[in-house]
Amino acid sequence: MRALLVILTAATLAACTTHTVKEPDKTAWQAFGYKGMAAKINRLAGSNSFNCGIHNKLEPNDPVNKHMSVADSRACIKQSINSKIPFRYGSIRIPTDSYLFDALILSSSGEFWSVRYDTMLDGSGGAHFIERCNSVKVDYSDLTYEGVDCKPVSTEEWLSDIAEQTLQQ
C-alpha cells in the first residue's frame, strides 16, 4: 500500500511539472508573409516540430492571437530550446513604417534561423533579412530575440526552393 502511495505521489508531481505544449491553429501560418514563406519555415523546422504560434502585435483582436496566448508561446519556445526540439514561432509588427514578419526557427538539423521579411505598408519594397545562427537569446517578456554567432543567408538562397516565388525582393 505504501509503495502504491509513493508511486501515485510521484506521478502526480511529475504531471504538475511537465508542460504540455498546446498546438495552435496551423492555418495562421498559411497567411504569414507571402505565398510560400510558411511552407519554407515549416520545411526548415521539420514535420515533427512544435508550432509555438504566431502573434500579430499590431492588432490584438486578430483571430490569429486567439489560438495561442503569449504565455503558451513563451512556454513552448522555452521548452523547445531547453530540450533542443525543433520549433517555429512568428510575429507581425510595425518597427517604424513597414510590416515586419519575423520568424524564429530551430531546425531539425539543430540550427537556429532568424527569418525577417520587411515590406512597406502598401505591400511594396519587400526585403529579406535572414540568418543561420548557432544560438539565440530570447527576451521572454516580449518574445523578441537576437541570434548569436550568425551567418547571413542571401535572398536568392532563401527563395531558391520556394516554387511560388520567382524572386521577391
Residue 11: its H or E element = helix 2-17
More confident residue, 12 or 123: 123
- The residue segments making up the domain with residue 94 are 36-159
The CA distances from residue 69 to 11, 84, 114, 161, in Å, are 27, 22, 21, 32
Q: Looking at the chain, how many residues does it have?
A: 169
More confident residue, 28 or 158: 158
Please check whether residue 10 lies inside any domain of the structure.
Answer: no
Please check whether residue 3 lies inside any domain of the structure.
Answer: no
Please check whether residue 167 lies inside any domain of the structure.
Answer: no
Please check whether residue 147 lies inside any domain of the structure.
Answer: yes
Per-residue pLDDT band for 8 (boundaries 50, 70, 90) equals very low
Residue 30 is predicted with a pLDDT of 77
Residue 158 is predicted with a pLDDT of 85
> Rounded mean pLDDT of 9-33?
50
Please check whether residue 56 lies inside any domain of the structure.
Answer: yes
Condensed to tens digits (0 to 9), the pLDDT of residues 157-168 reads 888 877 776 544
Please check whether residue 112 lies inside any domain of the structure.
Answer: yes
Please check whether residue 27 lies inside any domain of the structure.
Answer: no
pTM score > 0.85 for this model?
no
Number of structural domains found in the chain:
1
Please check whether residue 9 lies inside any domain of the structure.
Answer: no
> Rounded mean pLDDT of 107-130?
90
Cβ contacts of residue 159 below 8 Å, gap of 6+? 128, 165, 167, 168
More confident residue, 14 or 145: 145
